[in-house]
Structure 1
Amino acid sequence: MTEVAGVIERIWRYPIKSTGGELLQRVDVDARGLLGDRLFAVRDAEGKLGSGKNTRRFRRMPGLLHLRSRYADSIDRPELLDPRGAAVLDPSAFLRSYLGRDDVAIAREGVTSHFDQLPVSVLTTATLDWVCSAVPGVPVDERRFRPNLLVRTPPGTPPFVEDEWFGNKARIGDTLCVDFVRSSERCVMTNEAQGDLPHSPLVLRAIARAHDTRLDALAIVAAPGLVQVGDSIVLS
Structure 2
Amino acid sequence: MDDGTVLGTVERIWRYPVKSTGGELLFEAEADARGLVGDRLYAVRDADGKLGSGKNTRRFRRMPGLLRLRSRYPDGVVAGVPELLDADGVPAPDATACVRRHLGRDDVEVAREEAVSHFDQLPLSVLTTATLDWVRAAVPGVPVDERRFRPNLLVRTPPGTLPFVEDLWFGSTARIGGGSLRVRFERSSERCAMVNEAQQELPHSPLVLRAVARGHDMRLDALATVAGPGRVRVGDPVRVERAVPPAP
- TM-superposed CA distance for 1:135, in Å, is 0.4
**Gapped runs of 5+ residues in structure 1?**
none
Cα drift, residue 77 of structure 1: 2.3
Q: Who is 1:126 aligned against?
A: 130
Q: Which residue of 2 aligns with 1:63?
A: 65
Give the whole-Å Cα distance in 1 for the aligned partners of 2:194 and 2:203: 12
1:82 matched to 2:117? The reply is no
Alignment match, 1:162: 166
- CA displacement 1:166-204 (0-9 Å, x = unmatched): 000000012100010000000000111111101111111
1:102 aligned to 2:106? yes
Q: Which residue of 1 aligns with 2:200?
A: 195
- Equivalent residue for 1:25? 27
Which of 190-199 and 92-101 deviates more? 92-101
Q: Which residue of 1 aligns with 2:183?
A: 178
Q: Structure 1 vs Structure 2: percent identity of aligned residues?
A: 72
- CA distance in structure 2 between the partners assigned to 1:187 and 1:205 by the alignment: 10
Secondary structure of the residue that 1:146 maps to in structure 2? Answer: coil
Give the AA of the match of 1:33. G
- Give the ranges of 4+ consecutive aligned residues of structure 1 lying more than 2 Å apart after TM superposition: none
Query: SS of 1:136's equivalent?
Result: coil
Greater Cα shift, 86-95 or 121-130: 86-95
Query: In the aligned structure 2, how far is the partner of 1:94 from the partner of 1:230?
Result: 35
Query: Is the 2:45–2:108 Cα contact (8 Å) retained in structure 1?
Result: yes
Q: Establish whether residue 206 from structure 1 lines up as the match of residue 211 from structure 2.
A: yes
What amino acid is the match of 1:222?
A: A
Tell me the residue number matched to 2:246: none
Q: For residues 65-115 of structure 1, what are the alpha-carbon distances to aligned partners after superposition, in whole Å with 9 as ceiling and x for unaligned? A: 000000004322200000111110111112112211111001000011000
Q: For residue 206 of structure 1, what is the amino acid of its counterpart?
A: A
Matched letter for residue 236 of structure 2: D
Which residue number in structure 1 is paired with residue 150 of structure 2?
146
Partner-residue secondary structure (3-state), 2:186: strand
Higher strand share: 1
Comparing 113-122 and 51-60, the one that deviates more? 51-60
Indicate the SS of the match to 1:184.
coil
What TM-score does the superposition give when structure 2 sets the normalisation length? 0.94
In the other structure, the counterpart of 1:44 is: 46
Amino acid paired to 2:159: P
What is the rounded CA distance, in whole Å, between the counterparts of 2:215 and 2:98 in structure 1?
Answer: 40
Counterpart of 1:194 in 2: which secondary structure? coil
1:220 correspondence with 2:222? no
SS of the residue corresponding to residue 171 of structure 2 reads coil
Contact 2:84–2:98 (8 Å) recurs in 1: no
- Letter paired with 2:39: D
Q: Please tell me the root mean square deviation across aligned C-alpha atoms, in Å.
A: 0.7
The 3-state SS of whatever aligns with 1:185 is coil
Q: What is the CA–CA distance in structure 2 between the aligned matches of 1:148 and 1:36, rounded to whole Å? A: 12
**1:35 maps to what in 2?**
37
